[in-house]
Structure 1
């Protein structure tokens, strides 16, 4: 919820803060009508709980909605037994929040759960006017209006919004499908063209060698330069395609593919063509049954970091890969990759927010399981990539 709030514009944040403050003030003023201080406090708390149920993240909505509904029902039951009750208002802000709670449940939750939320919030909303002091014909009319019109309207509004969301989702999927077809054609027309040119030039070189034609160093250099040029064009086309397809703000789906045993293969393979890569794995990790999501995230951090070292760290003499329990946090592990080369950010700052697509993917994978990744230049030269991960993958809440 906090991260979503920070992603909004300043104007939207200011409007939300003003509206939230005004609603809390109204709830407080309504609570002040209660004749007893404990009841006043309970009225404010119940109202704020109902308001909070409207803004909590989706995975916390069920618990918050149940808590708000229960608090409202209990407060109503208690107030009906008191000799003195509020004279002016039973809590109209809380009533509106309960109705909007029904709307949100119908809009966002599965049908069975939406029915449960409605079955809890609707009686709470209908019974809420019983908190007021005067029980007369007007009170019965108000209860009837809530039961006959307000609650059904909240349900219908939720259904309309649910239908609208489904319609928008289908439209977005249709647009994405059309874009996929267009990008597939572009991928074939541009990238495949360059790859075909590389294959053709390579075959020509092999044919000349098989025919016994002795090539001069100048001819070999020219042929390799042509292949390099076409390869660079292919990479440029591929990069342009990725920049169109890739949305750095939207998390990509990930799946577990590896375990820590593959790290040795990565460092050994890297050391063959690059600087020596030293791997250190904390022996205490052997006592922990790491989830596949964790081991895969570690694997990806090391893999992407070594790739960046090979591409961007000029004159690197040594690379260190370390996987260990995080100091001071025994329930988390830390994976770090550091080098002593030069190059820094030259090849990394390729997206609008200053991160390469590989680092964006790493951040997504790490954050998806409750971790945190950082990268940057080291004091004295070189580069580091560091990720702190939980020992057990965070299970997504529903």
Structure 2
């Protein structure tokens, strides 16, 4: 705004100061509004509307001289053109439409301020001036609309990236942290069921410690992902790469469940099976989620079979438990809701499996429960 003041004040000496004052004020207000910062207070809509109203009021009331109308009008027209383009980008759609219409009308009618005070001008001359103003307003509005479209796309992209990050964090917390915490709780409950000799107590505490360390590691990765503005999970003092879980880790996951769980995998569907990384990730999360549900609802004493087998170009994964019926003696389990209401884990996994072109089912299979998924080895084919 300060940079525009010399240009605004330069022509003052060429016309009577009092008569030029309304034009000077209107042009100065329009120039100030055009330079108004996007994050300014009050918002741009206020200054832009004020500049447009002053311009519209001055058109029929301007007393002259014509030279001032031309000089100051050029500055005002430039400012109004900028305001039309900026008004289109106002975030609120209704406010943007109202302010754009107001500033556009002021720009279209601005030439009349000059032509109305020139003798001999015909209606056609007035219409030509208005048409030129309309053309400039349309071009400025079109540019502003294009920039508004880019703004909208950028905002949506940021919102989608933030949503995806939140979902990723929620998945990690649910699939890994909750899995380990569930194990810790059940191990602690198991230690309270009866007398435990020192050796067993030491082994129990070691398992609790290991599960706690794994939970902390998962939380560290999640927190580092949130801290990193690029979302790559790189903390200032270290740069952990995004962790991928696959078939090779299934044996460890099943072993951590306990001695009542076993993994059955064919030679062509074991850890060395060729499957797309996203398929292996989905299979790993499915097994973790299913075992977590077994722990919660059937207890650590339930006999569990995790079966991975290749069926042509598809991979079949099933997790079956006996409902705790094979356990000798009481087994700790979480006193929670019925098995179908354990949260959004299976719903999230179902969506992921279906996105890869597979199917997932979870249903009672007397006397326990079976979760089965069938996925293509390579969803991209």
**TM-score under structure 2 normalisation?**
0.46
Question: TM-score normalized by structure 1?
Answer: 0.45
